[in-house]
Structures are given as C-alpha cells and as structure tokens.
Amino acid sequence: MLRALRSLTTRSDQLRHACGSLESSTPTLPRAWYSVSNRETQAQMSPLYASRGVLRLAGDDLFEFLQGMITNDVEKLKQDAHPVLYAAILNAQGRQLHDIFLHRDPKDKAVLRGDVDKESLPELVSLLKKHKLRAQVDISDVSDELQVWARFGSGQYPDGDEWPIDPREQKLGYRKIMGENDKPKAEAAFLDPGAAPVETEAEAYKVWRLQKGIAEGNEIPSGEAIPLEYNMDGLNAISFEKGCYIGQELIARTHYKGVVRKRLVPFEMTPESAEDLKVGAELTASGEKKPVGKVIAMAERFGVAHVRLAPALAAADAAEGRLQSGDSSIRPFRPDWWPEQWGKEEQQ
C-alpha cells in the first residue's frame, strides 16, 4: 500500500492534498506477546480526578468545530459503537498540545464531555475559545461536578453501556466520567457481584497504564511531541480519512514517509538499579556515544521512554539487553498491542 501511494503522486502532490482523505497504510497484522511485565491484578477502580478534569461541550456548531480541531473523526461519536473517542489537539506545526477523550453525554447526544489533563485545562479552554470565533459552541469546566474514573485488572467485564472500553487499547480496561451520585450504579454494573472492583489510588492505574507503554496528559510534552512518536497512530487517536484539522500537514508527511524512528517504549527497572531514576533522565545503549532517548514517565519500577527504536528494540530482544542512565539500568520491552511492523519499517 505504501509503495502504491508513493507511485501515485509526488511528495508535493501528497502534501497539497493532505487535507483530503488519507487511507491508512497500517495493515492488520498478528500480534505476539513481547511484554515481560503485564501483570494480571484484581479488578480495581481508580479515581483520576487529581490529574484529569472534565469539560462540557455543547452548541449547534460543536461537531463541525471539533472536526477542524482534533486529529480523530468526531462524527464517529454519532454512532452507538463509539461512545468515547480519543484524539489529540495540535499546534500549526503539528506538535501535540493536548490529548482528549470525548464522551457522549448519556442524557443528550448533542452534548459531549471532554476528559482532559487537569493541569493544562485552562490553556485548552482558552485555545478552544480562541478558535471557535463565531461558532455556536459552549465550553465550560464541570470538574467540580463530574470526575474521571478507570476500571482495570482482571475479573468479569461490566455492562458495556455503563462502562465504555478505553478507546486507546482494550487491555487498558474501561474509562468513565461520572458524578458522585452515579458511583453506586457504576459499581453495580459488574455482572457478578463478586467481581465488583476494589477502589484503589490513581497510582495503581498509572502503573497498569505504563506497563502497557501508554502515556497521557502532561506526560506528553506539550508543543514538542510528534504524535506518531508517542504512538497516537496505534492508539486510535488519528483518522487518516477525515478532512483538514490544525497541524495535519506533519501527520500526513510522516504517514506517507512510512518510517517512524522514535517511539514511546515501556520499560521495567532492573533489580540491581538505583531507585533515583527520574523523569527526563537520558538513556544510553551499549556501543552508542549519544543518548538514545529519555524517560517520559515513571510509576514504581515501571515507566515509558521516548527512544530511538533501533537500539531500544535491540536491547529488548537481547537476553541481557539493557539501556543505562547513570547507575540505573532498564529493560525495555515491546508491548503486545503494537503492530508487528513498528520498528521494522527501515528494513522494508
């Protein structure tokens, strides 16, 4: 598919038509278990309101407005099969500013709820209001009324209508926006009362998420991150078939190029490592003079790093493969949800 696309038009033609339909060149390939750290845990339910805020989005022009702002196709939310949509909001240079989960309001399909990073929520509101101009769109912060919760771990699945599956990757579990009065119903949604989740701290969910190699919110450097390098293409956050949106040109160019040399990779600290590995720490590989990447997020002994794939995956494949940061060493691993061709594009 990629060769066919290249032969159809020149690079300039591709970019000139970037605002048109972009057919994804990512085929569906079988996936294998690569992770060394995917621990099954008891069913848990964690409040995320310390790190995630909630916006209420409404208005006659809402869907048209969002379609020009986000990387995904907001029209999907009009379908029953898509109660939640994950997307990014970019700057004009194609760098990621914010990630956002858009949930349909259970009582009004014309209203959406935005699950966003709490720290950057004021900046996001200002950005949206700046771009809406005369569009009939109402944007309000309802974080005091509604909170974000995650359900994860083992056990029976809840009623799908009550707990939507996380749109990024189903192994993450479920993600829901609810008020305090909704909590009893959410807990009762589990088919077997014995499978109801234990309420845990948000840190437990963060460990679970980082083990899957997924960053969110302010873990993704605003204004710096290239979405495909943070795996947004594999997390169902980008539509290659919709029309124009802010920052689309870089997405189109990277997509047509067909090679992503850096990505977000999960890791586990080795038993002999020091305990002082910090976010931002540079990582080196055996035989490499320059750093191959840096740590993006940590929780307990697990984390994710933005690294060059060649040395990172070489370390993951080697029996004693490591990346180093001072006196600490980490063991990167390939998540089971990754498409098989990631990291192999340059070999094709």
CATH of the domain at 307: 2.40.30
Identity at 323, one-letter amino acid code: L
* Beta-ladder partners of 47: 149
Closest residue by Cα to residue 205 from 335, 36, 43, 34: 43
Identity at 83, one-letter amino acid code: P
Show the beta-strand stretches assigned E in the chain. Answer: 44-47, 52-58, 84-90, 96-105, 108-117, 138-141, 147-152, 174-178, 198-199, 262-269, 282-285, 293-299, 302-308, 323-325, 328-332
Contacts of residue 118, defined as CB under 8 A and 6 or more positions apart, other chains included, come to 49, 50, 51, 52, 53, 143, 217
Say if residue 224 is exposed, middle or buried (CB neighbours under 10 Å; 0-12, 13-18, 19+): exposed
Query: Is 172 within a domain?
Result: yes
Q: How far apart are CA 319 and CA 197, in angstroms?
A: 37
Query: Is 83 within a domain?
Result: yes
3-class DSSP state for residue 292?
A: coil
Q: How far apart are CA 43 and CA 54, in angstroms?
A: 25
Distance of CA 297 to the CA centre of its chain: 13
Question: Which among 183, 211, 239 is the end of a domain?
Answer: 211
Whether the Cβ atoms of residue 115 and residue 87 lie closer than 8 Å to each other: no
Closest residue by Cα to residue 245 from 265, 227, 231: 227
Whether the Cβ atoms of residue 126 and residue 69 lie closer than 8 Å to each other: no
Whether the predicted pLDDT of 36 surpasses 60: no
pLDDT digits (tens, 9 = 90+) for 79-124: 988 999 999 999 999 999 999 999 999 889 899 999 999 999 999 9
Q: Which helix (H) or strand (E) holds 310?
A: helix 309-317
Q: Other C-beta atoms within 10 Å of 15: how many?
A: 16
CATH of the domain at 189: 3.30.1360.120
Confidence of residue 132 (pLDDT cuts 50, 70, 90): very high
Identity at 89, one-letter amino acid code: I
Residue 347 has what pLDDT?
Answer: 56
Query: Is 53 within a domain?
Result: yes
pTM to 2 decimal places:
0.86
Q: Which residue has the tokens 């033609």?
A: 13
Closest residue by Cα to residue 244 from 58, 64, 76: 64
- The DSSP output letter for 164 is P
Mean pLDDT on 52-61: 98
pLDDT digits (tens, 9 = 90+) for 139-167: 999 999 999 999 998 765 665 568 899 99
Identity at 241, one-letter amino acid code: E
Instruction: Please tell me whether residues 179 and 85 are part of one structural domain.
Output: yes
Q: How far apart are CA 45 and CA 336, in angstroms?
A: 23
Instruction: Please tell me whether residues 72 and 133 are part of one structural domain.
Output: yes
The sign of the dihedral angle between the CA atoms of 239, 163, 48, 296 is: negative
β-pairing, 262-269 vs 282-285, is unpaired
Question: Which among 211, 244, 277 is the end of a domain?
Answer: 211
Instruction: Please tell me whether residues 204 and 277 are part of one structural domain.
Output: no
Q: What's the total number of domains in the chain?
A: 2
Q: Which residue has the tokens 């944007």?
A: 139
Range of the domain at 338: 262-347
For the chain, the distance separating the N- and C-terminal CA atoms, rounded to the nearest angstrom, is: 12
For 75-100, b where at least 16 C-beta lie within 10 A, e where not — what string? ebbeeeebbbbbbbbbeeebbbbbbb
Question: Which among 211, 246, 274 is the end of a domain?
Answer: 211
Q: Between 20 and 286, where is the model more confident?
A: 286
Confidence of residue 215 (pLDDT cuts 50, 70, 90): very high
Instruction: Please tell me whether residues 275 and 206 are part of one structural domain.
Output: no
pLDDT digits (tens, 9 = 90+) for 302-334: 999 999 999 999 999 988 889 999 889 999 999
Query: Is 33 within a domain?
Result: no
CA 284, 286, 289: angle at the middle one, nearest 5? Answer: 60
Say if residue 143 is exposed, middle or buried (CB neighbours under 10 Å; 0-12, 13-18, 19+): middle
